[in-house]
Copies of this chain bind each other. A is one copy, B any other.
């Protein structure tokens, strides 16, 4: 299967949804699915499904449809969910706790191995089976453990304060819940920004324009 830097982000952003829906189909013991049916679940056109999957080399057979498990496993591989990524969490406030407790990281093949916080009152707290560590232990931890990515569950100013340290420790992949623009400072980082307000504004748009 082809790997390509030229695949558009809008195709890439649909891959997790394919993965999610295919996982649900697999749980329901569905063996195979046509592009038409998959399109209906995904709320896109069948031609879009075929185009999307062709970006990665196909996976379907004319007149047969897609094997659910095969397609799911291929997308899983594309998404790097077999890579055993090791992650740390920065911030043990409500957001950090919610992210750590709400998400099923293991299902995504990700291991959350440590959590750091600079509020002395939160250090030592338990999140799942992790004890919250002090941010002053960050350097020692990162020097003795593999850390593929950091989840930044702190406000913009917090990220501003800690980003140089993380970058110098070699962490260049971020799941960023703050509004701090990391790539404008460090262009060789990979960042996925979560803007919850964008999602809420989309709901407002629907309420404003689509309500009967």
Contact = CB atoms under 8 A, between A and B. Distances in A.
Report the contact-size class of chain A (Cβ under 8 Å from the partner). 35 or more
Nearest to A206: B190
A78 interface: yes
A203 B99 contact: no
Interface stretch (A58-66, A134-142, A157-165, A194-202): A194-202
A148 B207 contact: yes
Contacts of A198: 13, 16-17, 20
Given A20-B198, A102-B196, A197-B20, A204 B95 contact: no
A208 interface: yes
A200 B108 contact: yes
A198 B194 CA distance: 10
A200 B192 contact: yes
Given A103-B197, A194-B196, A210-B5, A202 B20 contact: no
A94 B177 CA distance: 15
A121 interface: no
Interface in A4-27: 5, 10, 12-13, 15-17, 19-20
Interface in A109-151: 109-110, 148-149
Interface in A166-202: 173-175, 177, 188, 190-192, 194-202
A80 interface: yes
Contacts of A107: 197
A30 interface: no
Contacts of A79: 201, 204-205, 208
Given A81-B204, A102-B177, A103-B196, 4 more contacts: A102-B196, A148-B207, A173-B211, A175-B199
